[in-house]
Amino acid sequence: MTLDDALRNLRGRFSFPELKPLDLKLPVDRLRREFLRMDYSAEPDAPELAEIRLLILPGAAGNIRARLYVPLGAGVPPGPGILFFHGGGFVLGDLDSHDMLCRRLAEGSRCRVLAIDYRLAPENRFPSAHEDALAAWAWVQERGAAKAGIDPARVAVAGDSAGGNIAAYLAQEMVRARGPKPAFQLLLYPLLQFADIRSKKMTPQESGLFISASLFEFFRGHYLPDPGAYMDRRISPLFAPPDDLKALPPAHIIVCGWDPLHDEGLAYAARLRGLGIRVSDRDYASMVHGFLNLTPISSTARQAAREAGEITGRALGAL
């Protein structure tokens, strides 16, 4: 069965906003309820972890929920960790929508993974999510060892799509602020600029389950309604000046062949390499945007999530 066949079969089993024309009148809370609510119970190789628990962190404007994943091979704390930010265009997504991806990253890396439930738009507009990321980073640096078993000197920032935007921003912001930098960046089909999206006509399968020109405009209108801020380096880290990039940590960037964000991911990798940053990338040419959340139907997605974890674990000295 091809991926397209599997996606067609999913129409009757799961709800994905971009498998049908986006109804901009649909309430955001309904989109959130439907986003990535998949049944992972049938996965043949779902990882068993040593511990999963909820944490409450102080945020920029109140408490932030977070979920800690401790793999069986994590070792004695404090050890290396991954600070993870979910995708969803700054409007959708939560701890549950990316639960299996975090489990697989933890298993593959043998590192503790701390997933952050940052504030979403339209209730909280730019830079709310980015401010919560900074607060989470400060918590990891100050209390991560005692409360989560994470060594603050060996932390990777990671995220998919909009979460990749947050992770890239956080790494750059630490360069600008001359603060404690992440040890590594794992950017999964990241959204790296808010100025434009590739407008080539594609089917929903080709454009990716969770991003298209119309959905990009929907997300941008909710999180960043001011066109004057589209090029702000905090929301468009692809266009940050060289001084913000020269001291960045190493990175691994995953892109997908059927994804409007494909080219900007590779462009960011090229910019970093040109400045002497160690970067690896992996192009899953036959995959769609968001494919790492399709582990119930795709062995490629399951293996890719584990491999991304392994790459990060090796970078942090856990493997």
**Where are the extended beta strands (E) located within the chain?**
49-59, 62-71, 79-85, 112-117, 150-160, 184-188, 251-258, 279-288
Q: Is the per-residue pLDDT at 305 higher than 70?
A: yes
**Predicted confidence (pLDDT) per residue in 70-125, tens digit:** 999 899 999 999 999 999 999 999 999 999 999 999 999 999 999 999 999 999 99
**Predicted confidence (pLDDT) per residue in 174-205, tens digit:** 999 999 999 999 999 999 999 987 655 555 54
Amino acid at 3: L
Structure tokens at 253: 């960037």
- Model confidence at 158, in pLDDT bands (50, 70, 90)? very high
- Model confidence at 44, in pLDDT bands (50, 70, 90)? confident
Report how far residue 205's alpha carbon sits from residue 1's, in angstroms, rounded to the nearest whole number.
Answer: 15
Structure tokens at 31: 């989109």
DSSP 3-state of 183: coil
pLDDT at 231: 95
Q: Which of 28-42, 81-95, 273-287 has the lowest mean pLDDT?
A: 28-42
- Model confidence at 32, in pLDDT bands (50, 70, 90)? confident
Mind giving me the DSSP string for 2-45?
A: -HHHHHHHHTTT---GGGS---TTS-HHHHHHHTT----TT-TT
The superfamily CATH assigns to domain 3-315 is Alpha/Beta hydrolase fold, catalytic domain (3.40.50.1820)
**DSSP helix, strand, coil percent of the chain (3-state; round to 5):** 40, 20, 40
- Average pLDDT of the segment spanning 153-175: 98
The pLDDT mean for the chain works out to: 89
| Full-model pTM | 0.92
Structure tokens at 111: 């590192």
Within 13 Å, how many C-alpha atoms sit on residue 115's CB side? 25
Structure tokens at 197: 């999206």
Whole-Å CA distances, 110 to 75, 113, 157, 228, 303: 8, 9, 15, 42, 15
Q: Which residues are catalytic?
A: 161, 259, 289
DSSP 3-state of 111: coil
Structure tokens at 161: 């799509």
- Model confidence at 22, in pLDDT bands (50, 70, 90)? very low
What percentage of the chain carries pLDDT values higher than 90? 73
Q: Which of 10-24, 92-106, 167-181, 278-292 has the lowest mean pLDDT?
A: 10-24
Report how far residue 79's alpha carbon sits from residue 76's, in angstroms, rounded to the nearest whole number.
Answer: 7
pLDDT at 122: 96
